Amino acid sequence: MEVLKKASRITWRTVRIFFECFFGFLILFWCYAVILSRIGVGPLAGDESGEERTTVYITSSGIHTDVVVPLTNKYINWPVELGLSDSLLTDSVNTHLAIGWGDKGFFLETKDWGDLKLSVLLKATFHLGSSAMHLVNRPEPDTSDKQTIRLSLSPKQYKALIAFVKASFSKNEGKYMQIKEHNYGSRNYFFEAPRSYGLTYTCNSWTNSALKSCGQRACVWTAFKDGIYLQYGR
């Protein structure tokens, strides 16, 4: 009986220490996230002011952020590049492509918050899952929406963004790896992506990195979309 009591005390002490460390980590993480997301970097000075510029956008659903680019211009034709249907180019309404990176489980298994599984949440929190690119063919964003940030990129800056986005896809023998089975509409496209999602690198961290890649105002680091929007006075 005494042995059982000692074992019980040891078990409870271990559980208590675990939770104290876990919540201590969360508090430190939150402080780290708040401080670094409020420190801005860039923008870098442009060197092609006389060149034709490309308008791109940052948009948000409230939690997740996307980079929105024209479907095509003289620098890249995204449907052709990604092996999508050329018919996208004939649509005069849905002229843009929203591009985002994130956890594959969240994208494919969690269409609504009510669908969220604990296993998906844990994998996405601790870098245990795989990732994917989610693309949506959509109209040009409305700049009157507070969730929309408009950016004007020089040719050099847009080419740098193109390179960053292309490097965010996984490839097999040089071909992009499209995920064709999903429960979203016909204007949604998913592709395999490298790297794992987690607390230290989220969908918003990816968007922040995209901004850095093309010399735009960004955070030192952020896990949340608020850090990005603070840099643009939102």
Instruction: Write the pLDDT tens digit of every residue in 145-192.
Output: 999 999 999 999 999 999 999 999 999 999 999 999 998 999 999 999
Examine the domain organization and report whether 140 and 207 are in the same domain.
yes
Whether residue 102 is found in the same domain as residue 214:
yes
* Rounded (10°) CA dihedral 151, 136, 96, 197: 30
Closest to 231 (Cα-Cα) out of 211, 213, 214: 211
pLDDT at 3: 46
Residues 71 and 117 reside in one and the same domain: yes
For residue 7, the tally of other CB atoms under 10 A from its CB is 10
Is residue 158 within 8 A of residue 166, CB to CB? The reply is no
97 lies in some domain: yes
Q: Does 58 lie in the same domain as 28?
A: no
Tens digits of residue pLDDT in 179-233: 999 989 999 999 999 999 998 999 999 999 999 999 999 999 999 999 999 999 8
DSSP per position, 125-188: HBT-S-EEEEEEEEPPP-TTSTT-EEEEE-HHHHHHHHHHHHHTS-EETTEE-EE---SS-TTE
Question: H/E element holding 40?
Answer: strand 40-41
Separation between Cα atoms, residue 61 and residue 188, nearest integer Å: 15
Same domain, 15 and 90: no
Average pLDDT over residues 61-90: 93
120 and 222 fall within a common domain: yes
Summarised one tens digit per residue, pLDDT across range 121-139 is 777 667 788 999 999 999 9
Task: Say which residue, 216 or 13, is predicted with more confidence.
Answer: 216
The band of 87, judged by pLDDT with boundaries at 50, 70 and 90, is confident
Q: Is residue 65 part of a domain?
A: yes
Enclosing domain of residue 10: 1-37
Q: Are residues 13 and 62 in the same domain?
A: no
* Chain CA centroid to CA 143, Å: 20
Residue 60 sits in the same domain as residue 27 = no
The whole-number pLDDT of residue 161 equals 98
Whether 75 and 12 share a structural domain: no
Residue 73's nearest CA partner among 136, 194, 176, 155 is 155
Residue 4 — very low, low, confident or very high, per pLDDT cuts 50/70/90?
Answer: very low
The answer to the question of residue 79 being in a domain is yes
Residue 62 lies inside a defined structural domain of this protein:
yes
CB 101 within 8 A of CB 201: no
Residue 46 within any structural domain of the chain: no
Q: Supply the mean pLDDT for the chain.
A: 86
Indicate if 32 and 148 belong to the same structural domain.
no
Distance CA 104, CA 134 (A): 9
Decide which of 46 and 58 is more confident. Answer: 58
Q: How many domains does the chain have?
A: 2
Residues 18 and 83 in one domain: no
Instruction: Give the percent of the chain with pLDDT over 90.
Output: 60
CA distance 121 to 184: 20
In a domain, 82, yes or no: yes
The bridge status of strand 65-70 relative to strand 54-60 is: antiparallel
Top-confidence residue, 108 or 202: 202
Q: Which of 103-107, 109-113, 140-144 has the highest mean pLDDT?
A: 140-144
Examine residue 26 and state whether it is found in any structural domain, yes or no.
yes
Establish if 43 belongs to a structural domain: no
Do 24 and 95 fall within a single domain?
Answer: no
Element (H, E) at 102: strand 96-103
Q: How far is CA 161 from the centre of its chain?
A: 14
What is the enclosing helix (H) or strand (E) of 69?
strand 65-70
